[in-house]
Amino acid sequence: MGLRDTLFGRTKQVAPNLDNLFALPTAALTLESELDLVSSGQAGLCFKSGSGESTLTTDEDIKQLLDFDQTNNKVTLTTDDLGFKWLVVTDPDFEALVTRIHAADTSMVEHGLGPRLLCAVFGFVAKTPPGEGSVRMVYLMKQGTFYPFAPTGPSQRDNELELRVKSFLGTDLPIEKDLARWMALWNLPVS
């Protein structure tokens, strides 16, 4: 923030950083070889719906913006308990999943909704269940960093597994270094 923003008490909205998303397919290979984790075929984009600055106030508007194929039930739009919107995409092809999420991100940024984007989430499950449990890779839009989230209950998470994921993916992905920012996403609609 500049001096004038500080003087007048204004915050600049932070633009999202989408570039690092494409590092994920390589990381997915590492996850499979090292931890036997494969894509669950689901990914989600979480954003806060606002009012005012844009015409996009209803789900219909958002669907139109994101080029929703009404007949395509692979893509759903839901609102969670905390009032955040989730665009959930299902596709067995992991690269297509990443591309789809990136495209949705890009079109939201183009329509001035970039600052509303919170995170993207990619689901990973054990190749041979039960395995070691499932992990979500969370991508923080504003920071451009990833972190693993492995919930094991309504408010429990498997920190050991998360730290193992970090140790294996450290070179493939920009992993969020500040562990205090590995926030939970309880009850998220992406499996």
Those residues with Cβ within 8 angstroms of residue 180's Cβ, 6 or more apart along the chain or in another chain: none
Q: CA–CA separation, 97 vs 75, rounded Å?
A: 11
| The two structure tokens encoding residue 102 | 């990136």
**Residue number with CB closer to other proteins (56 or 140):** 140
Q: Does 163 bind other proteins (CB under 8 A)?
A: yes
Q: Does 11 bind other proteins (CB under 8 A)?
A: yes
Size of the site for other proteins (CB under 8 A): 30
Q: Residue for token digits 């397919």?
A: 25
Q: Does 91 bind other proteins (CB under 8 A)?
A: no
Near other proteins by CB under 8 A, which window of 17-25, 92-100, 125-133, 152-160?
Answer: 152-160
Q: CA–CA separation, 20 vs 140, rounded Å?
A: 10
Q: Does 43 bind other proteins (CB under 8 A)?
A: no
| The two structure tokens encoding residue 113 | 């909704």
Q: Does 29 bind other proteins (CB under 8 A)?
A: no
**Residue number with CB closer to other proteins (118 or 169):** 118
The dihedral sign for the CA sequence 172, 176, 178, 183? negative
| The two structure tokens encoding residue 148 | 């693993």
Q: Does 15 bind other proteins (CB under 8 A)?
A: no
Q: Does 62 bind other proteins (CB under 8 A)?
A: no
Q: CA–CA separation, 124 vs 23, rounded Å?
A: 16
Positions in the binding site for other proteins (CB under 8 A): 11, 14, 46, 48, 80, 82, 84, 118-119, 138, 140, 142-143, 155-157, 159-160, 162-163, 177-186
